[in-house]
Structure formats: C-alpha cells, structure tokens
Amino acid sequence: MNECPVCQQTKFKDYLEVEDHFGSKESFQLKQCTSCETLSTNPQPNVDEIIPYYKSNNYISHGDSVNPVFDLAYKTVQRQNLQYKKKLIEKYTLGKNLLDYGCGAGSFPHFMQSKGWQVTGIEPDDSAKNQALSKGIDVIELSNLKREFDCISLFHVLEHVHDLDTTLNKLISHLSKNGVLVLALPNYQSYDAKHYLNHWAGYDVPRHLYHFNQKSMFSLAKRFGLNIVSTHPLKFDSYYVSILSEKYKNGKSNLFNAFRIGYKSNSKAKRTKEYSSLIYILSK
C-alpha cells in the first residue's frame, strides 16, 4: 500500500490487528492514514483473490437465505430499514430514477420499484444477480451505464470496492444535475466499534478493504467534488453488529449483552453523532 485511497497521502500508522472472524481466521492489519484517518486493510486481496472470502452460505450481503439465528436479526433490520431509506431518498430527490450499486439479491431496488420508482441494479456476484433478476430488477454492468439517475445508492458497498477512483468517477458522471449519491457505511468511531475493538464485526476484513469515519468521508467528498448535504444514522445496525461481535468475542451469542451494547452505542451517539453506521447524502 503506497498511498491512501481517499486523500492520496503516503503516511500511515498501525491502528489495529483484526482477524477474519467470519471465515478464514487470517489476521489483517488496519493502517490509518495520518491525514484523513481512513483505515485500509493490509494486505488487501486483489479482485480474484478475494472471491473465496465471499463464498459462504452465511454471507448475508449476497443472498436471501442464511443461518437462521443471524437471518432473523438481519431480516428484522432489513424490513425496518427499507422504508427508512425510501423516506430519506425521497426527501432529497425530485425524480424517481434509481441506480442501486451493489444491489445484492435485489431487496432494496425491488421495494423501491414497488413504490413507483424506475430502478436499475449493478451486482458483480452471479448468484446474487440472478436473485435480483428473478425479482424483476434490471441488472446491468457498470460499463454499460447510459442514462443519468436522480439517486445512486451504495448501501454498505463502497468499503468493498477495489478501484474507488474509477467506480466513483463513473457513478458521479451518471448522476443528474440535482441528483444525490447515497452512501451507507460502518463508522469505526462508534461506541460499539470502540467497545469490541478487534472483534467488531463492522471491520469484516478482508472483505471490507477500507474503513471510514466522518473525517475520512469529508475528505472523500472533497476529492470527488461532492458536498455532504446531510448525515443520518442507521440505528438498527448497532444491535445487529453487536450480535455478531459478541459471537466473535465470546464464541457464542449473547443477545442480552449485544442489545445492551447496541442501546448504549445509540444513546451515546445522540450526543456524539457517532452511530454504528451512517448514511451520507452527497450532491454535486
């Protein structure tokens, strides 16, 4: 790693060593940019090397059917968040043309389509893409983008993208004049992240190549000529991430403690604004 993927500075310091608790049990070093505070996973598997790290029936980002215990928590979060995301997007957009980058199995674009939106998805994983297609979602390649969109959303996706420059520049070029780019990202400055440290599920190394806080997001927006219009919490994430983190830390689920930490994280964030995950609304 020669330069920061966000601000392109070249000075880093060791931040934390984190294990791939989910699968391989390998250890990775998080390197913090001394300028913008973006964390980078080191070493980073390349596009081909990273594929095996996603190959699991339990990796919920890419499918509808997962381990029943975690599936219940995830689906509860998902049902509540769909309406919340729609409400936020409609607050900041005039049109109803949506591109969901990293659409997974298509739950969000399918929901938006059912509410009268014209939706398009982009999804590199074939299995997830097929599920999205079965829901009636138009799934295309990034290179085949032609039209402009009133909203381009990346919900817990940007941290997985290898080539930030190419991807973001391409997406921004297809954002309408009054459109918004919507990014949802884990926040490593949240209380639950600091509580669980190297057991925090939000790091999800090496699948998460980068890790952001609000300062690094400001730097990202500035570099790509965008303005952060507003920032909003994903309050359910603190509970879900804490459920996973408890399992990583103690080897078993402890729902009581997970909900205690999730609640405490949200309570502290009312003052600090450092929620477990944040949605950033950006415009040109």
Q: What is the pLDDT of residues 16-40, one digit of tens each?
A: 999 999 889 999 999 999 999 999 9
Read off the DSSP letter of residue 212. Answer: B
d(CA 92, CA 248): 38
Check: CB of residue 89 under 8 Å from CB of residue 151.
Answer: yes
Check: CB of residue 15 under 8 Å from CB of residue 34.
Answer: no
Question: Does some domain include residue 104?
Answer: yes
End-to-end CA, the chain: 29
**Cα dihedral sign for 134, 22, 76, 72?**
positive
Question: Does some domain include residue 93?
Answer: yes
d(CA 37, CA 6): 9
* pLDDT for res 75: 74
Could you count the other beta carbons within 10 Å of the beta carbon of residue 178?
Answer: 12
Count the residues in the chain.
284
Question: Does some domain include residue 4?
Answer: no
Mean per-residue pLDDT, 270-274? 98
Question: Does some domain include residue 1?
Answer: no
The model's pLDDT over 127-172, given as tens digits with 9 standing for 90+, comes to 899 999 999 999 999 999 999 999 999 999 999 999 999 999 999 9
List strands edge to edge, sheet with 39-42. Answer: 12-19, 27-33, 39-42, 210-211
Question: Does some domain include residue 210?
Answer: yes
pTM summary value? 0.93
SS3 letters across 219-279: HHHHHCCCEEEEEEECCHHHHHHHHHHHHHHHCCCCHHHHHHHHHHHHHHHHHHCCCCEEE
Question: Does some domain include residue 5?
Answer: no
Question: Does some domain include residue 2?
Answer: no
Domain with 94, as residue range(s), is 12-283
d(CA 106, CA 128): 8
* pLDDT for res 66: 43
Question: 3-class SS at 94?
Answer: coil
Question: Does some domain include residue 279?
Answer: yes
* pLDDT for res 74: 67
Which has the minimum average pLDDT: 59-73, 114-128, 188-202?
Answer: 59-73
Read off the DSSP letter of residue 64. Answer: S
Domain count, the chain: 1
* pLDDT for res 69: 63
CATH number of the CATH domain containing 267: 3.40.50.150
